[in-house]
């Protein structure tokens, strides 16, 4: 069910609030495409809620115990919404990550009261280090 009365920015704010509450699904189109930028184990293009839930979310739950999302900046042009957000929380070992509150980008496409596209640009080296306990070692 859509929420055509909401502005795209308001809808994204509500989506983030519902992500923090654990139930954002009714604000997503069935055909939503979620893309996680980069080369991490979580990176990729996930078309449709079954893949978002079945692959991205389930994979993320293995390494993330808790996640808090907050919006620092939000702008809108037509159906496109760009945000600077802060992703922080605890990994599966209970260790906090991004306690510094560093920001990353996330872009949405909103139409007819539903989110049709989410493209997240996370801190990919933080994902490798803090969530997968990997380290960068010199090739030489």
Chain positions contacting other proteins, by CB under 8 A: 37-40, 43, 73, 75-77, 80-82, 84, 102-107, 119, 121, 123-129, 134-140
CA distance linking residue 9 with residue 72, whole number of Å: 13
Q: Which is nearer to other proteins, 50 or 75 (CB)?
A: 75
Kindly state the smallest distance separating residue 106's Cβ from other proteins, in Å.
Answer: 8
CA distance linking residue 130 with residue 99, whole number of Å: 11
Q: Which is nearer to other proteins, 9 or 92 (CB)?
A: 9
Q: Which is nearer to other proteins, 25 or 121 (CB)?
A: 121
Q: Which is nearer to other proteins, 92 or 124 (CB)?
A: 124
Residue 11 near residue 3, CB atoms below 8 Å: yes
Kindly state the smallest distance separating residue 59's Cβ from other proteins, in Å.
Answer: 16
CA distance linking residue 98 with residue 130, whole number of Å: 9
Kindly state the smallest distance separating residue 50's Cβ from other proteins, in Å.
Answer: 25
Q: Count CB-CB contacts under 10 A for residue 6.
A: 17
Cα angle: 121, vertex 122, 126; to 5 degrees? 150
Kindly state the smallest distance separating residue 33's Cβ from other proteins, in Å.
Answer: 14
């Amino acid at each position: 069910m859509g929420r055509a009365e909401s502005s795209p920015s308001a809808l994204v704010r509500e989506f983030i609030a519902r992500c923090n509450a654990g139930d954002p699904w009714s604000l997503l189109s069935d055909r939503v495409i979620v893309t996680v930028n980069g080369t991490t184990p979580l990176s990729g293009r996930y078309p449709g809620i079954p893949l978002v839930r079945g692959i991205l979310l389930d994979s993320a739950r293995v390494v993330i115990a808790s996640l808090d999302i907050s919006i620092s900046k939000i702008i809108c042009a037509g159906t496109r919404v760009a945000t600077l957000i802060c992703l922080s929380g605890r990994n599966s070992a209970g260790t906090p990550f991004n306690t510094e509150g560093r920001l990353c980008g996330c872009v949405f496409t909103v139409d007819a009261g539903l989110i049709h596209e989410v493209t997240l640009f996370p801190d990919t080296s933080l994902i490798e280090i803090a969530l997968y306990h990997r380290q960068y070692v010199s090739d030489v």
